[in-house]
């Protein structure tokens, strides 16, 4: 068990979400950067989809109520264990009574804390993820707050990749795949209404540097730039939409649906950002810029396969580390 000592309004329990319920109006939820959460779990020998704590906008402080291993991935949140600095993308063992402090991520928007064995949370629609809009999942459908007690699943061999109580290892922070002060390239497959843009707007869509606006959230990221226009006004019936869909509201400024996004909508659809780049957009911060790069469905599938192959390599590395002789 761990005790929450300090938390903030956007710090929640998240796993990989609850797919399969959109027809009933239930959104995906889940980690904004699922790749980072999966890696945190893999470092600990957990199932990739185990629930972890998503840290955003504010800091988090917890106390370990028993010995357990943990991993931190995503943005660098200047983690400290009893005041001792820890590197990002790293796994360590926390002892009973020790305090882990994490500041708001300073190079991205989200960081993730996973615990060996995973958090013990009653699933809702098959997921432990917190749905802040619907107020369900996670801990009472809300953000974590001081004095929350979080149960942790007990496992026979915690932290299999670690050789001792003070040992630890990690991955390269470059896995964040984000270079400060440079635009993020978002690879995208064009969608149904893209062809309805005027020729000038189609050019602007690809050539412009789009600025991430401050009113972006887990529901949707708003992009600021030139006003895009359609050849003729268009009214559509509401249709199903998914995280990653780029819509064009009447303002002419694109909106990207994120993991807490709507399950349906009627705005024209310009494209679909591939999953590997949607997490990169999620990790971008207000004021940073992005640009769209067109890819084919075949290219998008190849990129997804590459990411899956990397995760399998990490899982293999952890399994090999588990077989090392213990001192």
Q: What is the pLDDT of residues 170-185, one digit of tens each?
A: 666 666 666 666 889 9
Is the domain of 12 the same as that of 148? Answer: yes
pLDDT bin (cut points 50, 70, 90) of residue 197 is very high
Instruction: Count how many domains the chain has.
Output: 2
Residue 139 has pLDDT above 60, yes or no: yes
Q: How far apart are CA 266 and CA 325, in angstroms?
A: 59
Q: How far apart are CA 40 and CA 57, in angstroms?
A: 20
Please indicate, yes or no, if residue 318 is contained in any of the structural domains.
no
Which one of 113, 141, 176 terminates a domain? 176
Q: Where in the sequence is the domain holding 214, given as residue range(s)?
A: 184-295
Q: What is the pLDDT of residues 310-327, one digit of tens each?
A: 999 988 888 776 666 555
pLDDT of residue 109: 94
Is the domain of 169 the same as that of 216? Answer: no
Q: Is the pTM of this model over 0.85?
A: yes
Question: Mind spelling out the 3-state secondary structure of 141-168?
Answer: CECCCCCCEECECCCCCCCCCCCCCCCC
Is the domain of 168 the same as that of 223? Answer: no
Is the domain of 136 the same as that of 278? Answer: no
Please indicate, yes or no, if residue 308 is contained in any of the structural domains.
no
pLDDT of residue 322: 65
Q: How far apart are CA 50 and CA 37, in angstroms?
A: 8
Q: How confident is the model over 278-282, as a mean pLDDT? A: 96
Q: How far apart are CA 305 and CA 310, in angstroms?
A: 9
Is the domain of 101 the same as that of 73? Answer: yes
Q: What is the pLDDT of residues 110-125, one digit of tens each?
A: 999 999 999 999 999 9
Is the domain of 159 the same as that of 100? Answer: yes
pLDDT of residue 30: 97
Is the domain of 52 the same as that of 129? Answer: yes
Residue 261 sits in a domain of what CATH number?
2.40.100.10
Contact call for residues 271 and 190 (beta carbons, < 8 A): yes
Please indicate, yes or no, if residue 145 is contained in any of the structural domains.
yes
pLDDT of residue 182: 81
Please indicate, yes or no, if residue 324 is contained in any of the structural domains.
no
């Amino acid at each position: 068990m761990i005790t929450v000592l300090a938390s903030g309004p956007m710090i929640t329990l998240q796993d990989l979400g609850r797919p399969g319920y959109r027809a009933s109006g239930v959104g995906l939820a889940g980690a904004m950067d699922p790749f980072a959460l999966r890696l945190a779990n893999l470092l600990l020998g957990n199932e990739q989809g185990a629930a972890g704590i998503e840290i955003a906008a504010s800091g988090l402080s917890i106390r370990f109520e028993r010995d357990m291993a943990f991993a931190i991935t995503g943005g660098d949140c200047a983690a400290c264990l009893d005041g001792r600095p820890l590197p990002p993308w790293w796994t360590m063992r926390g002892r009973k009574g020790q305090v882990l402090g994490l500041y708001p991520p300073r190079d991205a928007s989200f960081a993730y804390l996973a615990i060996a064995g995973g958090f013990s949370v009653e699933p809702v629609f098959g997921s432990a993820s917190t749905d802040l809009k619907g107020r369900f999942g996670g801990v009472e459908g809300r953000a974590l707050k001081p004095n929350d007690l979080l149960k942790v699943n007990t496992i026979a061999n915690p932290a299999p990749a670690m050789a001792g109580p003070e040992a630890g290892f990690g991955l390269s922070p470059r896995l964040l795949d984000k270079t400060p002060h440079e635009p993020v390239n978002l690879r995208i497959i064009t969608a149904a209404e893209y062809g309805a843009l005027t020729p000038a707007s189609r050019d602007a869509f690809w050539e412009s540097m789009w600025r991430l606006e401050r009113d972006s959230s887990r529901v949707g990221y708003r992009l600021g730039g030139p006003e895009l226009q359609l050849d003729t006004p268009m009214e559509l019936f509401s249709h199903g939409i998914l995280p990653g869909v780029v819509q064009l509201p009447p303002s002419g400024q694109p909106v990207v649906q994120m993991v807490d996004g709507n399950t349906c909508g009627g705005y024209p659809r310009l494209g679909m950002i591939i999953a590997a780049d949607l997490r990169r957009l999620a990790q971008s911060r207000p004021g940073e810029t992005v640009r769209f790069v067109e890819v084919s469905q075949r290219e998008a599938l190849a990129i997804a396969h590459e990411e899956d192959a990397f995760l399998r390599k990490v899982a293999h590395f952890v399994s090999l580390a588990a077989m090392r002789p213990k001192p």
